[in-house]
């Protein structure tokens, strides 16, 4: 059993907006990474779907409209860069404007440039910093009905997320 402390290493509290009408997709080939990322997002009360591959992510994006995608960079088969390029080339305007955020342990400047060239909108480093995650969400998610999510914040004192190690 491993404990992931949501904010202990960063701040004592986060400003969180509940977003039950927002749907996002997390794409990662590692089950533990999927569960940890989903656990970090649970406090926002969003609708969260999980995909374990680029191919699965493309199929899900064709079948469901998402407000944001968190895309792992390194995956077997279709990696995050190639998956993003395919999504951007799909017919339909929503695929061109869908915010896609790279999840990566590699935050070197040349990799960031590769993400931009592939059509990714931003990146979030691993391990995920809950404060940076909060900033990404506020930056890229447009609240339904044009409500400004930055005006409706509530204070949240996160508690540890406990996830059994899947190895």
Residues 62-97 have pLDDT tens digits of 999 999 999 998 899 999 999 999 999 999 889 999
The whole model's pTM is what? 0.78
The answer to whether 51 touches 100, Cβ cutoff 8 Å, is: no
Residues 15-34 have pLDDT tens digits of 678 899 999 999 999 999 99
End-to-end CA distance of the chain: 11
Contacts of 147 (CB under 8 A, 6+ apart): none
Average pLDDT of the residues in 139-163:
51
Q: What totals of helices (H) and strands (E) does the chain contain, helices first?
A: 6, 9
> What is the share, in percent, of the chain residues with pLDDT greater than 90?
56
């Amino acid at each position: 059993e491993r404990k992931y402390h949501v904010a202990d290493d960063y701040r004592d509290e986060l400003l969180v907006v509940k977003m039950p009408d927002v749907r996002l997709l997390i794409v990662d080939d590692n089950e533990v990474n999927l569960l940890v990322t989903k656990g970090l997002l649970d406090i926002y009360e969003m609708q969260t779907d999980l995909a374990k591959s680029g191919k699965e992510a493309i199929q899900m994006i064709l079948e469901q409209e998402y407000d944001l995608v968190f895309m792992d960079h390194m995956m077997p088969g279709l990696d995050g860069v190639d998956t993003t390029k395919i999504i951007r080339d799909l017919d339909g305007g929503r695929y061109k404007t869908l915010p896609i955020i790279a999840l990566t342990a590699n935050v070197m400047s040349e990799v960031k440039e590769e993400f931009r060239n592939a059509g990714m909108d931003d990146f979030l480093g691993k391990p995920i910093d809950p404060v940076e995650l909060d900033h990404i969400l506020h930056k890229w998610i447009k609240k339904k009905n044009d409500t400004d999510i930055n005006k409706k914040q509530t204070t949240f004192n996160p508690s540890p997320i406990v996830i059994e190690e899947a190895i």
